[in-house]
Amino acid sequence: MDLKNQIELELYFADHFDTILFPVLADIYLAQEDYRRARKVCNIGLGYHENDSAGRFILAQVEKAEGNLKEAERELKHCLKYSPDNIHAAIMLCEIQTVLGRSPSSLLRSWKKVISLDPSNQIAKEFIEKVETDKNQKQQKQKPTKKIQKKTAALKKSSTESAESLNVSVRLATFTLVNVLKNQALFYQALEVLDLLEQKGEDADMIRLERDAVKELIKSSEKENKKS
């Protein structure tokens, strides 16, 4: 059977609901943005293969595309339980948990998972460094010294003004990633991702609005730095 032939797969799936090949068909529907069929195939297939990580990951992408972030989070956790080396699922989980406003400890655990799979992941490095810096600042808050205050200001400035490239591929650039970077005060990196979205031909109005919002955040951040 030709696994790239949609008709062959559909005919085979109709006669074999218990096939382990269901993620292949679901992925075809996902690529076509036919989320209803992708969800249906995943639900049927997972009924027979509950712990199929590929099926869980595709279902997570469907949930995310339809705005069901809590459901997407649940599916990604299930996916990573049985496929702990799925870097794309690990990164998506971090993005979604950031948008959902999960606790810093939960986010730190998720980003550390990413860094364990991809030590060169710049977003994970930035996030972990920021959280650990904030933790150190709280510990030193009772007796701040001039040296500590100077170091804190420098770290704060580097997190908001750094224009270091994230080297994000065009394929991985999403508006969700833009929100992740904004929430972590990585504004110049967010602008970089918006440039990639523009290259992909994404919604021009949305890109313009996001870019204006990020630039305003940069201005506000620079004013705060001057005050401190």
CATH number of the domain where residue 41 is located: 1.25.40.10
Same domain, 79 and 137: no
Confidence label for 56 from pLDDT (cuts 50, 70 and 90)? very high
Confidence label for 193 from pLDDT (cuts 50, 70 and 90)? confident
Quick check: is 96 in a domain?
no
Same domain, 173 and 227: yes
Same domain, 133 and 76: no
Give the span between the Cα atoms of 217 and 214, in whole angstroms.
Answer: 5
**Which pLDDT belongs to residue 220?**
80
Q: Which helix (H) or strand (E) holds 32?
A: none
Both tokens assigned to 57:
């990951």
Q: How many domains does the chain have?
A: 2
Give Rg (Cα) of the chain: 21
Has residue 204 got a pLDDT over 90? no
Quick check: is 112 in a domain?
no
**Which pLDDT belongs to residue 161?**
42
Quick check: is 3 in a domain?
yes
Which is more confidently placed, 124 or 134?
A: 124
Same domain, 133 and 180: yes
Phi/psi of residue 18, nearest 5 degrees = -90, 10
Has residue 132 got a pLDDT over 90? no
In terms of pTM, does the model score above 0.75? Answer: no
Same domain, 58 and 137: no
Which is more confidently placed, 95 or 180?
A: 95
Give the span between the Cα atoms of 213 and 215, in whole angstroms.
Answer: 5
Q: Which domain holds residue 59?
A: 1-84
**Which pLDDT belongs to residue 152?**
46
For residues 71 and 47, the answer to whether their CB atoms sit within 8 Å is no
pLDDT digits (tens, 9 = 90+) for 10-41: 999 999 999 999 999 999 999 999 999 999 99
Same domain, 187 and 138: yes
Same domain, 71 and 129: no
**Which pLDDT belongs to residue 190?**
83
pLDDT digits (tens, 9 = 90+) for 148-164: 455 445 444 444 444 45
Quick check: is 159 in a domain?
yes
Same domain, 70 and 133: no
**Which pLDDT belongs to residue 150?**
53
Quick check: is 157 in a domain?
yes
